[in-house]
Structure 1
Amino acid sequence: MSQDIPEIYANYNSFRPEASGSKTLCYFTRNMGALLEESKLGKDANILEIGPGKGELLNKLRGLGYSNLEAFDICASFRENLRSQGFKVYDGNNLLDLLEQLPDNYFDALIAVDVLEHIDRLELQEFLKSFSCKLKSGGVIMGQVPNSSGLFGHNTFIADYTHITPFNEIRLTSLFHGCGYKNILVRETRLPKSVGNFFRSIARNFIFKIAYFLNRLVGATPVKNLSHLILFHAEK
């Protein structure tokens, strides 16, 4: 990751002010919250979030009773803000800087929500392989990325010019498998519960089934996850 990227992130809200504070709160209970429950992490689990921004998810986790929360962000102003909120924060300009600071066999979970797409493919591969040593046995990596094979996922990916690496379910699974992880899960994000979203979900599922059929009909790679964002979960 280039050295000027931190300056871009320091001014991220100038580029996309509508995204500030929304990514973790709107979908937390329905998506990341479900992954946490399925992982059966205790409230004393050692959790590291990379790319936490202003700390919306960390504060949500704190409010749910998780007590051992740590963070890493390449933006210095974000790091200082997180420290002012009482979180332990690691410094560095990239993920490889982070690795040098972490103890082995320490973390129960790594969370990366809308982060992996910002990282160069080779750097990400090197990080995931090395980070396995930082996880306890049975530790997990979980998060969310734009789905470039979603019906409108490519729009989500290219809307942010700091996005570097596109993903779909097949590429994510291959990445984690190649880096030595197991029990890899990739699935569509679900809409938050509401009356309106109930009907939107029905319509969305119908449209996705048609799109999957058309993919098979024309001989395209038959990806099953077609939402514009996808969740992932992989175990050491």
Structure 2
Amino acid sequence: MNQRAPGFYGTYASHKGYVTPQVGPKQVARLDAEIWGPAECSPSHSFLEIGCGTGAFLAYLRGKGVRRVLGIDHDPALAKVIPEAARDDFICRDVWEVLADESLGRFDRIVLLDVLEHFEASDALRLLQSLRGRLADGGRVVIKVPNAGSPWGLSYQYGDLTHRTAFAPISVRQLADAAGFAAPLLYGQRQGSTRRRLTDALVCRLLSWALLNPPEIWGANLYAVLQVKP
């Protein structure tokens, strides 16, 4: 993580109000649609989550029957709130140390949810380049960032003073290409109930018709699935 704002990171636990996440059927269905399906995941895959936070995705993976899971984060306060099912999968360790540790082997899927925006662009590039050395053959990287290409994403991007870089679809493509990845699969996060999603889709379709330069992706948060260039 970028530590140029130590005062903000030092109070992150109190600001975020860390609590143990509950991963129920709704959360499972959402993660199935947002990550498991698009990234073509399998219980036989190994997973590394960088910046795992309170461990919701780690617990989700355990619930899917994944056997090899590793979650890392730089905040030791998180150890107390990681769900019990995933507690042994969490380590508090610097990301650069982890990526340099050859003993950890390679992973089929590497996941970064709400992480890259905390890095300067040059460090985000260095991070993605380093991930290539931790990917197994045919492996994929899954990223989620606030979508600064959409007006709905700006509150996510600028609502946290530890964020350093804003990403839009075009800049995610630029970053992926520079890091040695093929053109990524990009899609917006689908939030809310079915009724709200339908209403949102209708409004965005109308706005896309009415505006001269509508966003490529309207979703407030942006997903990308990356594979190394052939």
* TM-score range relative to shorter protein: 0.7 to 0.9
State the alpha-carbon separation in 2 of the partners of residues 153 and 205 from structure 1. 16
* TM-score for the superposition, normalised by structure 1: 0.81
Q: Is structure 2 residue 146 aligned with structure 1 residue 146?
A: yes
User: 1:118: how far off?
Assistant: 1.0
Instruction: Work out whether residues 8 and 161 of structure 2, in 8 Å CA contact, stay in contact via their aligned partners in 1.
Output: no
Q: 1:131 is matched with which residue?
A: 131
User: 1:67: how far off?
Assistant: 0.9
Q: 1:207 is matched with which residue?
A: 203
**Pairwise CA RMSD:** 2.9
State the alpha-carbon separation in 1 of the partners of residues 51 and 157 from structure 2. 17
Q: Pick closer, same or farther for the CA change 1:36–1:180 going to 2, 3 Å.
A: same
User: 1:77: how far off?
Assistant: 2.8
State the alpha-carbon separation in 2 of the partners of residues 24 and 147 from structure 1. 25
Q: 2:218 is matched with which residue?
A: 226
State the alpha-carbon separation in 1 of the partners of residues 82 and 6 from structure 2. 16
Note the residue ranges of structure 2 that are not aligned, 5 or more in a row. Answer: none
Letter in 1 for 2:208: Y
Note the residue ranges of structure 1 that are not aligned, 5 or more in a row. Answer: none
User: 1:175: how far off?
Assistant: 1.0
State the alpha-carbon separation in 1 of the partners of residues 51 and 35 from structure 2. 18
User: 1:119: how far off?
Assistant: 1.3
State the alpha-carbon separation in 2 of the partners of residues 106 and 183 from structure 1. 22
Give the count of matched residue pairs. Answer: 225
State the alpha-carbon separation in 2 of the partners of residues 73 and 5 from structure 1. 17
Q: Pick closer, same or farther for the CA change 1:14–1:105 going to 2, 3 Å.
A: closer
SS of equivalent residue, structure 2 residue 58? helix
User: 1:111: how far off?
Assistant: 0.7
Q: 2:88 is matched with which residue?
A: 86
Q: 1:53 is matched with which residue?
A: 53
Percent identical: 22
Letter in 2 for 1:77: A
SS of equivalent residue, structure 2 residue 184? strand
Letter in 1 for 2:191: L
Letter in 2 for 1:210: L
SS of equivalent residue, structure 1 residue 66? coil
